Amino acid sequence: MGPGPVNADPRVLRAMSAQLVGQYDPAMTAYMNETMELYRGVFRTCNEATLLVDGTSRAGIEAALVSLLAPGDRVLVPIFGRFGHLLAEIARRAGAEVHTREIEWGGVFTAAAIERAIVEVRPALLAVVHGDTSTTVAQPLDELGAICERHGVLFYTDVTASLGGNPFEMDAWGLDAATAGLQKCLGGPSGSAPLSLSPRAVERVQARSSVEAGIRSAGDVVREHPIRSNYFDLGMILDYWGEKRLNHHTEATSMLYGARECARLLLEEGMDTAIDRHRLHGAAMLAGVEGLGLEVFGDRAHRMHNVVGVSIPDGVNGDRVRGALLEDFAIEIGTSFGPLHGRIWRIGTMGYNARRDTVLTTLAALEQVLRAEGHRLTAGGGVAAARDVYASEAA
Ligand SMILES: *Cc1c(COP(=O)(O)O)cnc(C)c1O
């Protein structure tokens, strides 16, 4: 019940134990095509260029940034938590001229503030995190696409922590690039990064992509300044996933089985239903921690559905509470990073773990552990408040 990774759906684990096939076996290429189509549904996009990058979510971020940003390109990164810093760090290593704006952790930017920064910086790319699990809030993105369009800026977001559990509309919100991972609301293990690029972003990538020696054919362009990473050259990765089927890396077969199953699960449930399930269990967890008399961290109006930040009460040893929950109840919760380390706990309700039984059991266990720590709280208040949420939604 931490901020991710969380328990994987058993169906995903079963899918991953299937036998391997060769990378050009028609079954495998059919799986690749099918996975592209499934993730179009998950990202809510028509983008042809929708595929998996092999590696954890950060591999998707690196692939997007190193492929879209040429050295010297200006990029604007609004930072409201740990993962904004990560985008800036990766863009800097890609050689981009990085401009950041920062606000205190727990809040989000207004669209007007981002537009002002765009006017000042004139970036080639806006790179912003959607849900930053480090602070448990989600940056509204729905107005930013039109702003980027107006100023001729490409628009990238990291939806690793939010996708599948919070509303996200790649096309309707005007995104050019989005990357994710499996280990949050998608109910899978870490190790595969779904990614989608708009036609505009594909154009930018293809203008920089260069086919490596050894698989080049006559007529392939060789660029003096190719994308700096071979592994994360999205041009070559697109040629592998596209009709050319040009060999690049060997697709991580078992991870593809897992990623495909994650998307099948979500689409079978229905994206709206899955998002609403996360909203419900997140609301029950929030009511439950408040019912225990604990204080919730972060901007209430912009909370992510799938993780709640809880201020660690004065006099309570946060790490000892986490240790006892894990030791006695086999329940894991997290703390956070940087300025929030040791100040908040983060309790997740995501993917396979966004369920009523997990919410109620976690609240009951937390009450007992806090009581043993000598913290005074309302007996049974957590479970009761969460059950009230379930009862009122059922009515
Ligand atoms: C959890 C998380 C990640 C995780 O990256 P990994 O490389 O899979 O560890 C990335 N971005 C955000 C916003 C996250 O919350």
- The CATH number of the domain holding residue 377 is 3.90.1150.10
Specify the pLDDT at position 224.
Answer: 87
Query: Based on the domain organization, do 30 and 173 belong to the same domain?
Result: yes
Q: Whose CA is nearest to atom 11 of ligand 1?
A: 160
Measure the CA–CA gap between 131 and 60, rounded to whole angstroms: 16
Measure the CA–CA gap between 160 and 194, rounded to whole angstroms: 9
| CATH code where residue 211 lies | 3.40.640.10
287 Cα: distance to centroid of ligand 1 (angstroms):
26
Measure the CA–CA gap between 2 and 101, rounded to whole angstroms: 28
Which of 54, 58, 166 has the most ligand 1 atoms within 8 A of CB, as the residue to mutate?
58
Is 299 inside any structural domain? yes
- Regarding the beta carbon of 80 and ligand 1, being less than 6 Å apart is answered no
Query: Based on the domain organization, do 296 and 241 belong to the same domain?
Result: no
Measure the CA–CA gap between 196 and 42, rounded to whole angstroms: 10
Query: Based on the domain organization, do 58 and 207 belong to the same domain?
Result: yes
160 Cα: distance to centroid of ligand 1 (angstroms):
6
77 Cα: distance to centroid of ligand 1 (angstroms):
16
Is 309 inside any structural domain? yes
Task: Show which of 236, 268, 300 is a domain's final residue.
Answer: 268
54 touches 254 (CB < 8 A): no
For 326-342, letters b (16+ CB in 10 Å) and e give: eeebebbbbbbbeebee
Specify the pLDDT at position 119.
Answer: 98
Joined tokens for residue 297: 């961290």
Is 3 inside any structural domain? no
89 Cα: distance to centroid of ligand 1 (angstroms):
14
The minimum-distance atom of ligand 1 relative to the CA of 190 is 8
**What sign has the CA pseudo-torsion 8, 192, 135, 305?**
negative
Of 314, 311, 312, 329, nearest to 369 (Cα)? Answer: 329
Query: Based on the domain organization, do 220 and 325 belong to the same domain?
Result: no
Specify the pLDDT at position 387.
Answer: 98
Query: Based on the domain organization, do 64 and 33 belong to the same domain?
Result: yes
Measure the CA–CA gap between 264 and 85, rounded to whole angstroms: 32
Query: Based on the domain organization, do 14 and 71 belong to the same domain?
Result: yes
Specify the pLDDT at position 212.
Answer: 87
Q: Is 346 annotated as a binding residue?
A: yes
Query: Based on the domain organization, do 264 and 276 belong to the same domain?
Result: no
- Regarding the beta carbon of 136 and ligand 1, being less than 6 Å apart is answered no
73 Cα: distance to centroid of ligand 1 (angstroms):
24
Query: Based on the domain organization, do 261 and 297 belong to the same domain?
Result: no
252 touches 191 (CB < 8 A): yes
Of 117, 185, 100, 108, nearest to 141 (Cα)? Answer: 108
Specify the pLDDT at position 53.
Answer: 98
Low-confidence ranges of the chain (pLDDT < 50): none
- The DSSP annotation for 55-113 comes to SSHHHHHHHHHHHH--TT-EEEEEESSHHHHHHHHHHHHTT-EEEEEE--BTB---HHH
Joined tokens for residue 87: 């985008």
Which of 6, 105, 133, 141 has the most ligand 1 atoms within 8 A of CB, as the residue to mutate?
133
Is 302 inside any structural domain? yes
At 126, give phi and psi (nearest 5°). Answer: -100, 125
Query: Based on the domain organization, do 375 and 246 belong to the same domain?
Result: no
Of 169, 175, 145, 157, nearest to 87 (Cα)? Answer: 157
Is 295 inside any structural domain? yes
Q: Where are the alpha helices (DSSP H) in the chain?
A: 10-16, 26-43, 57-68, 82-93, 111-121, 144-151, 199-206, 234-241, 253-269, 271-291, 318-329, 356-372, 381-394
57 Cα: distance to centroid of ligand 1 (angstroms):
5
Query: Based on the domain organization, do 205 and 297 belong to the same domain?
Result: no
Which of 61, 83, 129 has the most ligand 1 atoms within 8 A of CB, as the residue to mutate?
83
* pTM of the model as a whole: 0.97
Instruction: Collapse the DSSP code of 152 into the 3-class scheme (helix H, G, I; strand E, B; otherwise coil) and give the result.
Output: coil
103 Cα: distance to centroid of ligand 1 (angstroms):
20
- Regarding the beta carbon of 4 and ligand 1, being less than 6 Å apart is answered yes
Is 364 inside any structural domain? yes
- Regarding the beta carbon of 115 and ligand 1, being less than 6 Å apart is answered no
Is 36 inside any structural domain? yes
The minimum-distance atom of ligand 1 relative to the CA of 133 is 15
- Regarding the beta carbon of 138 and ligand 1, being less than 6 Å apart is answered no
Query: Based on the domain organization, do 192 and 106 belong to the same domain?
Result: yes
Q: Which amino acid makes up residue 136? A: T
Joined tokens for residue 92: 């800097």
Task: Show which of 268, 300, 334 is a domain's final residue.
Answer: 268
Task: Show which of 268, 294, 322 is a domain's final residue.
Answer: 268
Joined tokens for residue 271: 């994206």
| 272-280 CB contacts, 8 Å cutoff, 24+ apart | 274/164, 274/165, 274/185, 275/164, 275/165, 275/166, 275/167, 275/305, 277/354, 278/164, 278/165, 278/166, 278/185, 278/305, 278/306, 278/349, 278/350, 278/354, 279/305, 280/389, 280/390, 280/393
Q: What is the pLDDT of residues 29-56, one digit of tens each?
A: 999 999 999 999 999 999 999 999 999 9
DSSP state of 136: T
Q: Whose CA is nearest to atom 1 of ligand 1?
A: 161
Query: Based on the domain organization, do 177 and 321 belong to the same domain?
Result: no
161 Cα: distance to centroid of ligand 1 (angstroms):
7
Measure the CA–CA gap between 351 and 285, rounded to whole angstroms: 15
Q: Which amino acid makes up residue 314? A: D
- Regarding the beta carbon of 389 and ligand 1, being less than 6 Å apart is answered no
Instruction: Collapse the DSSP code of 133 into the 3-class scheme (helix H, G, I; strand E, B; otherwise coil) and give the result.
Output: coil
Domain that holds residue 50: 10-268
Number of domains in the chain: 2
- Regarding the beta carbon of 62 and ligand 1, being less than 6 Å apart is answered no
Specify the pLDDT at position 19.
Answer: 97
Specify the pLDDT at position 336.
Answer: 87
Measure the CA–CA gap between 8 and 15, rounded to whole angstroms: 11
Is 123 inside any structural domain? yes
